[in-house]
């Protein structure tokens, strides 16, 4: 019949899609996906930990060259950056005036 012929391409496409989905086992892959996600998260955590370690080391090195009063006072990260900015600006101004 003509109505059946008009629907045939859509039915065939729907059957192909269904077959492609049937081949994948959801239960079998859930454990693998969970393991991959955990692995990716652990790697991301390691990268972030290393990034922060390097940032903190760089800030410690910057603190060691900045004059602070008293010497035992540890500046926070933002205080260190602001102080370094102002210190560099003051040194630049003193060089311009000299």
CATH code of the domain occupying 28-97: 4.10.280.10
pLDDT in the model for residue 5: 53
pLDDT in the model for residue 71: 72
pTM above 0.75, yes or no: no
Tokens of 83: 């102080």
pLDDT in the model for residue 69: 77
- Residue 62 has φ and ψ, to the nearest 5°, of -65, -40
| DSSP state letter for 23 | T
Tokens of 47: 């990268």
Per-residue pLDDT of the chain (98 residues; tens, 9 = 90+): 555 555 555 555 555 555 555 555 566 688 899 999 999 999 999 999 999 999 999 999 999 999 987 777 889 999 999 999 999 999 999 999 98
Distance CA 50, CA 46 (A): 6
């Amino acid at each position: 019949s003509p109505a059946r012929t008009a629907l045939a391409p859509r039915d065939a496409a729907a059957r192909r899609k269904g077959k492609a989905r049937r081949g994948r086992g959801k239960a079998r892959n859930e454990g693998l996906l969970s393991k991959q996600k955990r692995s990716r998260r652990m790697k991301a955590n390691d990268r972030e930990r290393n990034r922060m370690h390097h940032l903190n080391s760089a800030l410690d090195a910057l603190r060691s060259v900045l004059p602070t009063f008293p010497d035992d006072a540890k500046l926070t990260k933002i205080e260190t950056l602001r102080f370094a900015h102002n210190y560099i600006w003051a040194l630049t101004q003193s060089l311009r005036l000299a």
